[in-house]
Every structure is written in C-alpha cells, then in structure tokens.
C-alpha cells in the first residue's frame, strides 16, 4: 500500500494517512477481525 501511495504521490495525487490506514485495516484477512474491531472502536487513532 505504501508503494501504491508513493506512486500516486509521484503522479501528483497525495494520499492522506487518514484515508490510507483505515483502508489497509479494512483489507486485512478475516482472521484479523478482532484487531479491526478494536481499531474501529478507538477514539484516538
């Protein structure tokens, strides 16, 4: 994902970290469900 973000940045498209982190977490395999739930319920991310 960071590689894709770097390529987009080189093309003039900035990818905000506030978008990138949740996007990566939502693409984790199903076995990371408890981690995803914990992250999504955190107030300070």
Q: What is the 3-state secondary structure (H, E, C) of 2-40?
A: HHHHHHHHHCCCCCCHHHHHHHHHHCCCHHHHHHHHHHH
Residue 2's pLDDT is what?
Answer: 78
Domain layout of the chain by residue ranges: 2-41
pLDDT at 30: 93
Tens of pLDDT, residues 19-38: 888 888 888 999 999 999 99
pLDDT at 31 (0 to 100): 96
Helix axes of 33-41 and 17-26: crossing angle, nearest 10 degrees: 150
Average pLDDT score over residue span 1-18: 85
Share of the chain above pLDDT 70, in %: 96
pTM listed for this prediction:
0.55
Identify the pLDDT of residue 45. 60
């Amino acid at each position: 994902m960071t590689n894709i973000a770097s390529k987009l940045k080189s093309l003039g498209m900035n990818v905000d970290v506030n978008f990138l982190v949740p996007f990566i977490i939502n693409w984790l395999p199903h076995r990371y469900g408890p981690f995803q739930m914990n992250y999504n319920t955190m107030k300070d991310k």
